[in-house]
Every structure is written in C-alpha cells, then in structure tokens.
Amino acid sequence: MRALVVSELLPDFAGVAVEEVGSPTPGPGQVLVRVRAASVNFPDLLMTRGEYQLKPPSPFTPGMDVAGEVAALGEGVTSLKIGDAVVGGARLGGFAEYAVMEAISLNPKPERLSFAEAAAYPAAYLTAWVSLVRRAQLQPGEWVLVHGAAGGVGLAALDLARVLGARTIAASASDAKLAVIQREYAPDAVVNVTGGFREQVKAITGGRGADVIYDPVGGDVFDESVRCIAFDGRLLVVGFTSGRIPTVSVNMPLIKGFSVLGVRAGEYGRQFPERGRENMRAVYDLAVSGKIKPRVHAELPLAQWRDAFDLLATRQVIGKAVIRPDL
C-alpha cells in the first residue's frame, strides 16, 4: 500500500515522502481500516520535526483522525463487521491507504457527515471539549475569546462554545477569514488581532474582559490575553502555533484572580480513562445530532500531502485540510 512515511526528522518536511510499504495486519482487538479520509492536525506537522510531545521512532506514518471502511478484523472483535463505515482517532498511521486501529477507538461514521467531514472532527472537537468543559468548566452566558479561530482546533472551540450557550468572540489576524467565520458560525463578535486586541475585547465585554480565553497560538497573543481576561477568568493554554512559548509573572494571576490551565486532550483521557471515554462519547453524540459543524477547507489526494501540510503551516486553512488516499 501507499503511505506517507517520516524516515528522518528534518526541517521543511524534507524527511517525509509517500512510499510503498507492506499493508499492516490487525492484532487482537484491532481493526484494519481502508482510509477514505484523514485530517491534518498541527501535531502531525510537529512530529515530522521531532517537536511534539509524542516522539515515535523513525520510520513512522503520521495521521491522527481517520474515517473509512472496515477491511479486516483482528481476533476478538465482534462490535464491527467488514464494510462498516467508521471514524476514530489514533496517535499514528492515518496518512496511508490502510491503517490499523483499536476497535474500541472507532465509532460508526455519522450518516450526516461525509468521510472528509467525519475525519475533520475527532481531535479538534475533543480538544475543544476537554478545554471548555473539563478544564474551564464553561457556563452559559460567559464570554469566550477564541484565538486562532480559523484553525481546526480554534474553529471547533468557537463552534462548541456556541453549542454550550456561551457568548463568543472569534479572533484572527485575517479579515477574510473572519468574514467566513462570521457568515458560517455567527459568533457574537469578531476581532482582528493585528495591532492588538485588548481594548476591543474589553469594549465587547462591557469592560469586564473575557471569562474564558482559548489560546492555541501563544507568543504575543498569550501576553496580551493576560491583559484582557476577566477576574476569575480561565486562560487555556492549548498550543504554540506562533512558535514562541510565553511566560507570565505570577503576580498577574494573583492580582487579576485568573487561572492558567494547560490542555492536553489525549493525555487527559489516558490519565482519566473513564472521563476520557465520556469525552469521546459526548463529542460523537454532538456530531451525530448535527449540533456541531466540522468544516473541511480542502480535500487532497495522498500524493498532494505537501499541499495539505502547507495549508496549515502557512495559516491558509479555515477548518481542516483532509488527505484522501482513495483519490
């Protein structure tokens, strides 16, 4: 089969290429999935350079979110049958024509979603759920400022906050992206962060500041977020797509009475398995019910993986770029 293989950890994806490799065989409790769609997440990009928390030995195939059809069953798997359309998450292996996944990690593909849309929701909305529900304990009516609102995890957080009854502020450095978000997701307000956003956020929230700030960007965005968070607010550290890991003087959380909360959605589930299963079930139920709207920016064949990666790396994507090995 064809698979995207990381053979060396090098800058600019220089150690990554599509190769012919042997098709994997599912072991006990596992399923072989014919991959119809796999979405690109920022950790996939980081892993190609060895810059993510998970550092698999080379060679490896990245790809976390997969939608496809069951092609073979491992020993003991009775919950699925060959031909079932499924969706699920894994830490590796999605950017290939076939992927081995744990049966327990798979759910029936929501009928209302295409394969690409199904692949677009698991990691992004799980991150949003753990952030807003588990960590921030978001309440209806609270103001949520979402940075990087056009990216996969940002757009998911904006969408989920709406479902949870919060008042939302979408933040981005692009007016064009904000126009799309405003049209398709109807946030309560939008903010272009170019040149600063502190005063805009305070004006929108009546001088109080945002109750919850969702930050996958870091750097200067985090620094200024400290200046526009409400008393008793929660500042969620989701990632550092800006490239700079910021710091905060602890007198600021003391004086302003806010909390800085780290978010690792996958690790949360590994540390608290029962809650992890509840999280995944909650996100799946939202997808089935149609309450959330995963957005696919582009669908590209496996041979054009570089274009899919570049859409994220150059901040062009609104929602998710999806690789389609079946094209």
Instruction: Quick: pLDDT tens for 229-287.
Output: 999 999 999 999 888 999 999 999 999 999 999 999 989 999 999 999 999 999 999 99
Classify strands 189-192 and 167-172 as parallel, antiparallel or unpaired. Answer: parallel
| Greatest C-alpha distance within the chain | 60
* Per-residue tokens: 207: 């001088």
Predicted confidence band at 54 (pLDDT cuts at 50, 70, 90)? confident
Instruction: List the domain range (segments joined by +) for residue 174.
Output: 124-267
Mean of pLDDT over the chain: 96
* Per-residue tokens: 159: 């969408």
Predicted confidence band at 306 (pLDDT cuts at 50, 70, 90)? very high
Q: Decide if 18 is inside a domain.
A: yes
Domain count, the chain: 2
pLDDT at 52: 87
CB-CB neighbours of 276 under 10 Å: 19
E-strand ranges in 173-295 read 189-192, 210-215, 229-237, 259-262
pTM comes to 0.93
pLDDT at 108 over 90: yes
CATH number at residue 142: 3.40.50.720
Q: Decide if 276 is inside a domain.
A: no
CA angle 180, 184, 189 (to 5 degrees): 75
Q: Decide if 149 is inside a domain.
A: yes
Same domain, 205 and 262: yes
- Residue 161: strand, helix, or coil: helix
pLDDT at 53 over 90: no
8 Å CB contact between 45 and 313: yes
Q: Using CA atoms, how far apart are residues 168 and 185, in angstroms rounded to an integer?
A: 10
pLDDT at 286: 97
Q: Using CA atoms, how far apart are residues 241 and 86, in angstroms rounded to an integer?
A: 30
Q: Using CA atoms, how far apart are residues 283 and 123, in angstroms rounded to an integer?
A: 10
